[in-house]
Structure 1
């Protein structure tokens, strides 16, 4: 029995020593993905630069949303065009809560190939000549993959959507 406990302890010790935790918020990877998140959502979601959005997502994008279900790349773009970027006076806007961001690197044989980014984002409706109206807050988890030197969004989890609470 003691040998079994020792083996389990050694396995846990080896596993714990090889686990990579959250990237330091001052690291180049964290800062690069923080900027990537900002640029990605400003251009694609807030400004509706569809060509940019298409160039920054993997071909096999998977998008999981707690209110509108699963979307593959085709369905995702249909919904973006219909609900986010439709010509209307009321434009949905996304803003990240900067201090909520966390980044976890993904390695394959010691080589960085991607990262997991987590945080909280807020959604607003923008109308010309009016203040933005806060509509909801949610959590997100993104899997970014490096493809030919460009960070591309591969998997998205958008969940725990809630009404605004005085943010």
Structure 2
């Protein structure tokens, strides 16, 4: 690659970074990271694990879209809440399923419009088990997720969810 092409490439990357168009993930000690990690806890530790669905639904847009690689598409918050009540949180459920975040996998990427923060993409890995004491190393049911969070009237709300790469792995005894 000749020197002028290298210079142009470096200048372009510098411009994108300075303009906020290309932004790296935020530091895990940042307020944004901590805020969205707390929102993740509302969704899962409260909404999913304890089946307090209405509480977690408060931080979702009405037009929530949920894309699941095994379960299909959910087109609204109402449809999502109904599916939870008929599935993992049904009244006659005799065995709870718990969701656990793989904490070190969590990433947050801020999104800007003309330099103003309007949203963020949150990516991570989580696993599921009927054993409340399960650890990732022993789990055989995990997946990746991406959450699009948007600021609405000063509050972070969940707009889009993609849950994918649901996998079972061979469990080994340690």
For the superposition of Structure 1 and Structure 2, which TM-score range results when normalised by the shorter chain?
Answer: 0.7 to 0.9
Tell me the CA shift for residue 16 of structure 1.
Answer: 4.3
Secondary structure of the structure 1 residue equivalent to 2:87: helix
Secondary structure of the structure 2 residue equivalent to 1:84: coil
Whichever structure has more strand as a proportion of its residues is 1
Q: Is residue 2:112 matched to residue 1:107?
A: yes
Tell me the CA shift for residue 22 of structure 1.
Answer: 0.5
Tell me the CA shift for residue 135 of structure 1.
Answer: 5.3
Residue pairs, 1:1-167, within 5 angstroms: 9=9, 11-18=12-19, 19-73=22-76, 74-87=78-91, 88-126=93-131, 134=139, 136-166=141-171
Secondary structure of the structure 2 residue equivalent to 1:159: strand
RMSD across aligned C-alpha pairs, in angstroms?
A: 2.6
Contact 1:61 1:153 in 2 (8 A): yes
CA gap 1:5/1:72 in 2 versus in 1, 3 angstroms: same
1: distance between equivalents of 2:113 and 2:84? Answer: 33
TM-score, with structure 1 as normaliser: 0.84
Unaligned residue ranges in structure 2 (runs of 5+): none
Residue deviations 1:10-41 (CA, integer Å, cap 9, x gap): 54542344311100111111112112212321
Contact 1:125 1:134 in 2 (8 A): no
Question: What count of residue pairs does the alignment treat as equivalent?
Answer: 162
Give 4+ residue runs of structure 1 displaced > 4 Å after superposition.
Answer: 4-8, 10-13, 130-135
Tell me the CA shift for residue 68 of structure 1.
Answer: 0.9
Contact 1:137 1:163 in 2 (8 A): yes
